[in-house]
Every structure is written in structure tokens, then in C-alpha cells.
Amino acid sequence: MSFLDPVSHALAALIAAAHLALTSLGADPTAGTTWLLCIAAVVVAVRLTLLPLVVHGVRAAHASARARPHLQDLAKRYRNRKDRESLRRFMEERRRIAAEHGMSRLGILPILIQLPIWLALYRLLADVAAGASVGAMSSALVASLTAATLLGVPLAQRGYLGGGAAHFAVVAGMAVVAAALAYVTQKYLVAPNMLTDGLPEAVARAQHMMPALSAIGLIVAGGFVPAALLAYWLCNSVWTLAQSAVILRWFPTPGSRAAGRAR
């Protein structure tokens, strides 16, 4: 038994409930559009559940941005002072600045909390697409999903090849659109809202390459994952783009390029 099993079973129950609700309204239980709506429902439910962590992350970024000039000045004042007393005073001053500006002690904990959810969802969709029952996703529901198609492409099928030109066009189209959304989000919505002044050159270079790497990663992964998972990534990319646009427009990080444009 994996530590991801409880999360996978909770997500399976969510998908099963969405499928039951849609079929109760008259939707075809094996139609690709029905299962796409189920996947979209999972994205909405998961992202709404994670919104408190998003809010925490935005507040933490703002607090760090406000404290940054004071921390940089502190580091300069104690740069060449290595004795024990100076180190003690440095840490005391650092804690005082952090407390004054409301910096969170949780650090990257919100991100770490999200990781099991993403991993469990990937595992769930991959297992179900392979024909395995998971929690509330009974054998009947699994058979329904594996029979579902999107523009002729089975949602359980993996990769770009194996189904002719039409199959390649649909799968590649989904992967390219998801990659384009990821690139636009990182390049034009996330990057302008980040502080880059004073960052080490290697870190700044990595941030500059992140949009392209995210897009390339999605296109490469599209050749190995089920079409159902590509559909999830596409829906998730739409949510991420919209959420990042809201943060950029109304909650820009102090000192960032986005904050400068908002004035």
C-alpha cells in the first residue's frame, strides 16, 4: 500500500461522483465528452481545494518582497563579521525583520503539500487508463472510460503514434495547446511577477529558461501518457493561466515588473 492511496481513492470518488451526476442528467456514460467533463470537474475541485495554499503563497511572496531590502542591508552590514556574537545578533535581526513583515516560517510547505495530490492524480488516471480499478472507480466505470473516445482517439491510449494521422493530430494538438498555455503563463504572467534583482546568475538563467522547459516537457510527456491525462493537463493549464492572470493584475509582488506597471 502506497502513501498516495488515500489521495488516489479520494480523487477516484470525485471522478465517480461527477460521472454519476452527469449520467443522471442524461449524458452518455461512455461518451468522450462525458469523461472530459469529469476530468474538468476534478481539476476545478482540486484547484478550489488548493486555493488557500495559493493565497498563502501570494501573501508569503509579498512579505518576502517587503522584507528583502532590509535583509539585503542586514547581510551587507554583517558580511565580514564571523564571530559568534555577530552571528547571534545577525540571526536576531533577521528574525525581527521577518516578524515585522509577516514572513511565513512554513517556507515551501504549501508546495510540498500539493505534490502528493498531483502525483496521486497522475497515478490514478494512468492506472484507470490501463484498465485497473481504483477505489470508487469500479470495473464498470473503468470499462466505460477505456471505451470513451475524443475525436476518434481512445482516452486510455498512450502516445502520438499507433492510430494514424487523425490520432496524431488530436493528441499532438492537445499537447501543443497545453504547452503553449504553460509557456504563456510562465513567460508573461509568472515571470513579470517575480523579483530577479540580486539573484545569482545561475538562478536567473534558470528562471529565464523555465517557460520553454515547461512547454517542452509537456510536449515530450505527451508521447507517453494516456490521452485522458493530456486532457487533465490541458484543463489544468487553463485554470493556471487564469489564476496567474488574476494574481498579476490585482495582487502583483511588490518590487516586481508587474507591480511597476500596475502603478
Residue 208: the pLDDT is 83
9 and 122 together in one domain? yes
* pTM, entire model: 0.89
Tell which of 147, 176, 208 closes a domain: 147
- Span 28-69, pLDDT tens digits: 999 999 999 999 999 999 899 889 888 988 998 899 899 989
106 and 193 together in one domain? no
113 and 135 together in one domain? yes
217 and 179 together in one domain? yes
132 and 254 together in one domain? no
Lowest mean pLDDT among 79-88, 138-147, 235-244: 79-88
Tell me the mean pLDDT in the region 203-211.
82
* Cβ proximity of 182 and 216 under 8 Å: no
Number of domains in the chain: 2
- Span 94-131, pLDDT tens digits: 999 988 988 876 656 666 777 888 788 888 888 888 88
Tell which of 147, 166, 187 closes a domain: 147
96 and 132 together in one domain? yes
Rounded CA separation 20/258 (Å): 43
62 and 192 together in one domain? no
For every residue of 172-208, DSSP letters joined together read: HHHHHHHHHHHHHIIIIIIGGGS--TT--HHHHHHHH
137 and 201 together in one domain? no
Query: By residue range, what is the domain housing residue 176?
Result: 150-263
Which residue blocks in 101-200 are alpha helix, DSSP H?
109-129, 139-147, 164-184
- pLDDT band per the 50, 70, 90 thresholds, residue 3: confident
Tell which of 147, 172, 198 closes a domain: 147
Rounded CA separation 244/251 (Å): 10
Amino acid occupying residue 141: L
